[in-house]
Structure 1
Amino acid sequence: MLTEGVSLIDSRSDRVVMEPNPTYWNPARRPTVRIVYDNVIGKDAGIASVASGDGRVDVVFDLTPAEAKAFPQSDKGRIQTKKAKTILTGVFNENKPGSVWRDPAVRRALNLAIDRQFVLDQGAYGYGTVIPAFIQPGRFGADPGMSPLPHDPEAARAHLEKAGLGGREIVIVSSPAWKEVVEAIGQCLSTIGLSARFVSDRGDLPEDFDIKLEWYFDWTPQYPVACMHREFFGRDATLRQGPEDPEFDALYEKLLHAPEAQTEAVVREVERYIQDRSKALFLYAPFTLFAVSERVAFTPYDTCMSELAETRIKG
């Protein structure tokens, strides 16, 4: 798999070294630098190396928002961002006995309680984009006429009290990397008389948890169906959190058989249905974050891969 842009010349337990492939088919994208993946230097040490400019590390991938915020002021390195093809969303636990989250009105009420820009700013230090449903603005299938659900705490309070949820504690499971996001959600809930309790998904999950924060890939046109949507709601989905939804399944079948020219319009139908039914706790699309040395020109790819083929040494 290394014959496209680079050739593997050395593989050891501590590092992988790659040289430019002079026979790569696209001269405009032919790599020009030697790349060393160091498997010994820790992430913290790598970030410190970029900031100090000591020459040991030039690019560190996949920083957390907290790591990016803590990056020191430096003329030797910087934080570089990329709008990744991912979303951060809350999956309602509709499967637990007596789940209140099977009611679309209750799911919508909790969405109305959340100030998404506040959650993004406080929980992720602004590294992301608030989105209306599962597809990021500008991506294939995103509906430019859709807006994020509004922040309406008074309407949220009224609906939740009507459903008998006033004063309830909401148990939210997430990776420790998103603990600050859960805390920001908790601040929003506190304004309507609810509270949030963070539970790390590294431990045993309580059976009565309410929401699990998940990071998923959004729609990608390389696939003939809306894989993100099917992952949540389809009959054969392993991550399914709720009962079967015949209306959604009908939309999915429509998408499967739509002519290519109509595919995007059907995807937008799916997005609108998901928002109308508040199928998830919609949050935001995180950025992919990198610590990058000022001595290199780094081009992050629009994928989940750690490609370095277009990185150049400055000067």
Structure 2
Amino acid sequence: MLDAPGPWGTGPFKLVQGYSSIKNVQSVIRKTPYSSTWFTIEEERSPLVVLEANEQYWNKKKRPRLKNVIFRNDLTVEQALDLCMNREGEVDIVSKITPEMAQLVRGSRYAKLVNDGGNRIIAGTFNRYLDDIDFNNRKLRLAINLAVNRNELINQAFYGYAEPLSALTPSWAFDYPEGLKPIDYHPSLARQLLKEAQWPNDRALRIAAPKKLGKVVNLLASQLKEALKIDVSVKLILPNEELRWKRVVAEKRLVPNWDILIADPYALFYEGTPAYFHRELLGADGALRAGPILPEFEQLFKEMGSEIDKNELLEKAEDVDRYVYDEALALFLFAPHALYAVNKHVDFKPYRTSLELLDTEVNEHHWSRP
């Protein structure tokens, strides 16, 4: 939230005009011990948010290279992309562009594509609360993971702008377990394990997801239907329904009416990664956990959380990810890249955890230079 004079965030810049604020609502996950989560229901921003370099920034060796930064909130992503690609002096950086947009940027006269590791993953949480299907059975969870062709999914849904997940830690994170590989696509073994897990012959696999992930989920459903030889249904959650669905999962008072929920949680840093992805999907205070608390997971997670030595922390974070992998506790899909359209005369150095401009600078050919 930026609603008063700065400096804000990392401190290199201070707010001099405009505001950016959000409104959240709270959902209680459990009362004893107390834990809750917050969902954003409204984002309010002034048309322009202007930052200027903070000359009193404490780190004199790492001062911002830009004098001013203007965030334009008066444009849609499509409008901003058009100005960045086809004109100069209007928009220099467009964040959160889609893979489809990235294809267009490659042919632009004025813009280039910047492609970096992102701060979110796309994965599925299994509904372990169900009575008729036992997702506490590892064979069933593994069967569904074996039925996914991740590389094909990435190429068709994201034009290759993603990395397959081995478990829940992206390969570019500091605590990615060395040697861990994505689960192979193996339809015949998947069908064998599905049979051993006693999947009912007349039962459809029910997948739910926000509408923004519709392309991914429909392709995933086709893969699962073909590999497992079962019916697969898809429920896309409309934006005006998302809050209600999120609260049902987070508050854990009702049994959701889906088998797998596809979600895209995000992280704010890349060490101790399970504090974001693994906790959110599986932890005792995870808003996306859909099943009883997992004691073995909680023990490993607490050991990681109590570690103060960085190297030990990274090792224990790897232990969490390996355990989640070995138990196939989630449906592991992929980690999308962060994609930006950037003016060709801007040296943009993205941060993987947030939009930071501390290290960004422009060359002598930039339109702002005399």
Give the alignment's TM-score, normalised by structure 1: 0.88
Look up the SS of the partner of 2:121 in the other structure.
strand
1:167-221 deviation line (CA, Å, top 9, x unaligned): 7533222222221111221232232223443322223759421211111235946
Partners in 1 of 2:109 and 2:96 — Cα distance? Answer: 21
2:234 match? 198
2:68 match? 34
Partners in 1 of 2:155 and 2:358 — Cα distance? Answer: 33
1:16 match? 49
The one-letter code of the counterpart of 2:47 is D
Instruction: Kindly indicate whether the alpha-carbon contact (under 8 Å) linking 1:64 and 1:177 is maintained by their aligned counterparts in 2.
Output: no
Deviation at 1:11, TM superposition (A): 2.3
Distance 1:32 1:234, change over 3 A: closer
Deviation at 1:287, TM superposition (A): 0.8
Distance 1:179 1:7, change over 3 A: same
Q: Which moved more, 1:66-75 or 1:53-62?
A: 66-75
Matched, 1:217 2:266: yes
Deviation at 1:225, TM superposition (A): 7.1
Deviation at 1:274, TM superposition (A): 0.7
Instruction: Kindly indicate whether the alpha-carbon contact (under 8 Å) linking 1:50 and 1:76 is maintained by their aligned counterparts in 2.
Output: yes
Partners in 1 of 2:234 and 2:99 — Cα distance? Answer: 18
Partners in 1 of 2:361 and 2:307 — Cα distance? Answer: 43
Q: Which moved more, 1:195-204 or 1:109-118?
A: 195-204
Question: Where does structure 2 lack aligned partners over 5 or more consecutive residues?
Answer: 1-5, 20-45, 246-254, 365-370
1:237-293 deviation line (CA, Å, top 9, x unaligned): 333211122222232343345573533333222212111111000011111111112
Look up the SS of the partner of 1:41 in the other structure.
coil
Distance 1:135 1:34, change over 3 A: same
Deviation at 1:153, TM superposition (A): 0.4
Q: Which moved more, 1:245-254 or 1:81-90?
A: 245-254
Paired residues in the alignment total 314
Of 279, 285, 293 in structure 1, the residue corresponding to residue 329 of structure 2 is: 279
Instruction: Kindly indicate whether the alpha-carbon contact (under 8 Å) linking 2:51 and 2:70 is maintained by their aligned counterparts in 1.
Output: yes
Deviation at 1:166, TM superposition (A): 4.8
Distance 1:224 1:81, change over 3 A: closer
Instruction: Kindly indicate whether the alpha-carbon contact (under 8 Å) linking 1:224 and 1:256 is maintained by their aligned counterparts in 2.
Output: no
Partners in 1 of 2:322 and 2:346 — Cα distance? Answer: 43
Distance 1:263 1:22, change over 3 A: closer
Distance 1:66 1:200, change over 3 A: farther
Instruction: Kindly indicate whether the alpha-carbon contact (under 8 Å) linking 1:140 and 1:220 is maintained by their aligned counterparts in 2.
Output: no
- Percentage of pairs with the same residue: 26
Instruction: Kindly indicate whether the alpha-carbon contact (under 8 Å) linking 1:59 and 1:290 is maintained by their aligned counterparts in 2.
Output: yes
Instruction: Kindly indicate whether the alpha-carbon contact (under 8 Å) linking 1:172 and 1:211 is maintained by their aligned counterparts in 2.
Output: yes
Partners in 2 of 1:50 and 1:226 — Cα distance? Answer: 36
RMSD value over aligned CA atoms?
Answer: 2.6
Look up the SS of the partner of 1:229 in the other structure.
helix
Matched, 1:62 2:96: yes
The one-letter code of the counterpart of 1:186 is A
The one-letter code of the counterpart of 1:164 is W
2:223 match? 188
Partners in 1 of 2:294 and 2:347 — Cα distance? Answer: 48
Instruction: Kindly indicate whether the alpha-carbon contact (under 8 Å) linking 1:8 and 1:17 is maintained by their aligned counterparts in 2.
Output: yes
Partners in 1 of 2:355 and 2:268 — Cα distance? Answer: 20
The one-letter code of the counterpart of 2:126 is F
Partners in 1 of 2:87 and 2:202 — Cα distance? Answer: 52
The one-letter code of the counterpart of 2:51 is M
Distance 1:21 1:90, change over 3 A: same
Question: Where does structure 1 lack aligned partners over 5 or more consecutive residues?
Answer: none
Instruction: Kindly indicate whether the alpha-carbon contact (under 8 Å) linking 1:123 and 1:184 is maintained by their aligned counterparts in 2.
Output: yes
Deviation at 1:15, TM superposition (A): 0.7
Q: Which moved more, 1:51-60 or 1:277-286?
A: 51-60
Matched, 1:230 2:263: no
The one-letter code of the counterpart of 2:266 is F
2:294 match? 245
Deviation at 1:152, TM superposition (A): 0.4
Deviation at 1:224, TM superposition (A): 9.9
1:43-64 deviation line (CA, Å, top 9, x unaligned): 1100111110243111111112
Instruction: Kindly indicate whether the alpha-carbon contact (under 8 Å) linking 1:84 and 1:288 is maintained by their aligned counterparts in 2.
Output: yes
Partners in 2 of 1:300 and 1:45 — Cα distance? Answer: 22
The one-letter code of the counterpart of 1:264 is L
Q: Whose relative contact order is higher, 1 or 2, with alpha carbons under 8 Å and at least 6 apart?
A: 1
Look up the SS of the partner of 2:190 in the other structure.
helix
Q: Which moved more, 1:70-79 or 1:162-171?
A: 162-171
